[in-house]
Amino acid sequence: LHSQARWLGRVDEVYDNVQLAWEDGASCKVMRTSANSLAVHSPTMDEQTWFWPSMSVSGTRDTLRRAKWLKGSFRAPYANEHATVSKVHAAQALVRWLAAIPSEG
């Protein structure tokens, strides 16, 4: 419920910026990551999991090549190798607005 406009909505999609770290110290940020763009290797509550720090994940070669490298640079062995999520920031949420709520009074 949007408190000012009084609309009821449903979040259909969420995208996060996810920072990954490897044991050798390399680090990258995968931009606008959806729930299924990184393979999750940690226990999750469902298949539509979002990401959180300390989670073990891996990315494809294409995903990691497009990432912003913060320390080090892309190397082929990083593809599909387990990395640890070190930071997560919300990037975008797509909301489907369903109905206007009549104002009171």
Q: What is the pLDDT of residue 49?
A: 61
Q: What is the pLDDT of residue 9?
A: 86
DSSP codes of every residue in 7-35: EEEEEEEEEEEEEEE-TTS-EEEEEEE-T
Beta bridge pairs of residue 83: 57
| Torsion angle in degrees (nearest 10) through CA of 10, 12, 14, 15 | -140
| More confident of the two residues 94 and 47 | 94
Q: What is the pLDDT of residue 103?
A: 74
Q: What is the pLDDT of residue 65?
A: 95
Beta bridge pairs of residue 100: 7
Q: What is the pLDDT of residue 7?
A: 82
pLDDT tens-digit profile of 3-55? 677 888 888 888 899 999 999 999 999 999 876 789 888 877 666 567 889 99
pLDDT tens-digit profile of 59-80? 999 999 999 999 999 999 999 9
Q: Which tokens belong to 47?
A: 């298949």
For residues 55 and 21, is the Cβ–Cβ distance under 8 A?
A: no
Please tell me the number of Cα atoms within 13 Å of 8 on its side-chain side: 6
Prediction pTM value = 0.78
